[in-house]
A and B are shown apart, each in its own frame.
Chain A
Amino acid sequence: MPELWIEGRAVRVPDGSSVLAALQNAGIRTLRQSLSGEPRGALCGMGSCLECRALVDGRVVRTCLTPVRDGQHITLFAEGVHDR
């Protein structure tokens, strides 16, 4: 079972999960805040809405398309941080 770091907290997740599932199973459904400050979570589950984006090892990725890997560091865009 890979171990990853979600906002500095270590979690073990089953192999084959997406980073999104790892976040959701850790109780995190709000992944970012919108321009006007609304909470947002994953919508499409297949890479088209980009609502699930987060930083994985310093790169902006769509977490629904990103498989978990041992040692990944995941940082959210919540708290008013966004990537533009």
Chain B
Amino acid sequence: MTVEAHTDIAVVGAGPAGLSAALNAARSGQTVTLIDAQPGRGGQIWRGAKVDTPHPAATLLHALDACPNVRWPGQTEIAWVEASGDDRTLILHGPDGLTRLHTGRVILATGAVERFLPFPGWTLPGVTGAGALQAMVKAGLDVRGARVVVAGSGPLLLAVAAGLRQAGARVLGIAEQAPLASAARFGLAAARLGGKARESAGLAWALRGVGYWPGTYPVLAEGNGTLERVTLRRAGRNTTLDCEWLAVGFGLVPETRVAALLGCALTDSGAVQVDAWGQTSVRGVYAAGEITGVGGVDKALHEGTVAGCAASGQIERLRDAAATSARHSAFQAALDRAFTLRPELRELPAPHTVICRCEDVTHAQLRTQAGWTDAKLQTRCGMGACQGRVCGPATEALYGWRFSGVRPPLTPLPISDLLTPP
């Protein structure tokens, strides 16, 4: 069944940026609808946050719950978008089918996804994203006693390792592809990606005794049906570790699919372009958080406030916002530089290594293609179930292609939901 609904402001994404945008927008008295695919609010970083537990997210959730003008349907995603003039209709898909949500303004807070870089064996069950394994543990996966190697790049690896350890896993080590100098300067300091500088001290304590190996990256995952061991390379030398899980992610990339459907312009680095008020190139569409550049919780909360106020016409509340924004952007740019991917990572796939997991397209088939469009036509790369969510960022890193495959519907829809009469 298709339901019609109306809201003044739609906030897409219920992570820190989306929650803060929703709360600030709601203070204007206008109606706000908060949309997220997860069953609970909090996004990836605050996943599973509850109102009644002591948590930095709790205050925000509590304040939101006190707003009668905020709707939170939960487990709802944008399938496609229809726009005419300043009116937009977001077609939402949830457990009960489709909803046509008519909205004046949109705040995009869709966050970021992990970048996966293919190497031989990366498709084995047991090899997951870094943030992914953390998310699975938060969703109930039992890792007590399991041996885990954490690998990839960026400050997220530290938080992931600490979380896994807390859940009882044996973290064998953290392989960071960036060189020692970057890791030392930005590794622990960047723990404030999770909010608050003092968290870096807590992180160091949680990780005591765990090896942190800069300049190290995975080159091979092996096992009979599922993961049994991982080979890491450091300064040309290989080491093989037995493990049940490899949590590997090479940084985060802004999730700009909904932005692309709405026609928002992107920056050269693939983030959504915004002005000082968080407005994108499309009038009435705002963006906040990781989709404007990956810079952590504090940046997300701040940008959520800016976009929430601006979208609801409370510009007077934003007198001091510009200076704070500049500080966050500088931190984010420095992070990007510190964790630049080393060129050797591009040489990791073997000819038979699968790059597009949905369609099983290999490196040998792809490396001779001229670009994303050719690859799609010749090999079906990116045309499978995930629609390029995994291989898009991977091929960007491997071959320098620019991903251009956003097509509605963004989410696979059961045919029955499309066919039932409104």
A contacts, CB < 8 Å to B: 13-14, 16-18, 20-22, 24-25, 29-31, 34-36, 38-51, 53, 59-60, 64-65, 67, 84
Contact residue range for chain B? 35 or more
Please name all residues of chain A whose beta carbon is closer than 8 Å to the beta carbon of B113 when the two chains form the complex. Answer: 44, 46, 48
- Provide 13 A-B residue pairs closer than 8 Å at the C-beta atoms, listed in order of the A residue: A20-B136, A30-B226, A34-B123, A34-B357, A36-B360, A39-B226, A41-B124, A45-B128, A45-B139, A46-B132, A48-B389, A50-B412, A53-B385
The answer, yes or no, to whether B125 is at the interface (CB within 8 Å) is yes
The answer, yes or no, to whether B126 is at the interface (CB within 8 Å) is yes
- How far is A38 from B359 in the complex, measured between Cα atoms in Å? 11
Most chain B beta carbons < 10 A, residue from A16, A50, A65: A50
Contact yes or no, B37 A44, CB < 8 A: no
| Nearest chain A residue, comparing its CB with the CB of B128 | A43
Q: When A31-B125, A50-B385, A53-B385 are in contact, do A43 and B357 touch as well, CB less than 8 Å?
A: yes
State the Cβ distance, B261 to closest chain A Cβ, in Å. Answer: 16
Q: When A24-B141, A29-B126 are in contact, do A38 and B354 touch as well, CB less than 8 Å?
A: yes
State the Cβ distance, B98 to closest chain A Cβ, in Å. Answer: 15
Contact yes or no, A24 B354, CB < 8 A: no
- How far is A58 from B129 in the complex, measured between Cα atoms in Å? 28
- How far is A43 from B386 in the complex, measured between Cα atoms in Å? 12
- How far is A47 from B255 in the complex, measured between Cα atoms in Å? 12
Known: A41-B126, A51-B357. 6 other contacts (CB 8 A): A21-B139, A24-B136, A35-B359, A44-B114, A45-B129, A65-B37
Please name all residues of chain B whose beta carbon is closer than 8 Å to the beta carbon of A84 when the two chains form the complex. Answer: 385
Contact yes or no, A47 B37, CB < 8 A: yes
**Residues of chain B from 328 to 342 with CB closer than 8 A to chain A in the complex:** none
Please name all residues of chain B whose beta carbon is closer than 8 Å to the beta carbon of A53 when the two chains form the complex. Answer: 385
Contact yes or no, B226 A40, CB < 8 A: no
- How far is A42 from B227 in the complex, measured between Cα atoms in Å? 12
* Interface SS of B by simple majority: loop
Contact yes or no, B142 A40, CB < 8 A: no
Please name all residues of chain B whose beta carbon is closer than 8 Å to the beta carbon of A17 when the two chains form the complex. Answer: 139-140
With beta carbons under 8 angstroms apart, the residue of B125, B136, B140, B414 that contacts A40 is B125
Interface string of B287-331 (1 = CB under 8 A from A): 000000000000000000000000000000000000000000000
**Residues of chain B from 25 to 75 with CB closer than 8 A to chain A in the complex:** 37-39, 44, 48, 75
Contact yes or no, A49 B386, CB < 8 A: yes
Contact yes or no, B140 A42, CB < 8 A: no
With beta carbons under 8 angstroms apart, the residue of B44, B358, B359 that contacts A50 is B358
The answer, yes or no, to whether B225 is at the interface (CB within 8 Å) is yes
| Nearest chain A residue, comparing its CB with the CB of B126 | A29
- How far is A24 from B244 in the complex, measured between Cα atoms in Å? 12
Contact yes or no, B135 A64, CB < 8 A: yes
Interface string of B350-372 (1 = CB under 8 A from A): 00001001111000000000000
Most chain A beta carbons < 10 A, residue from B125, B134, B414: B125
Contact yes or no, A46 B135, CB < 8 A: yes
- How far is A57 from B162 in the complex, measured between Cα atoms in Å? 36
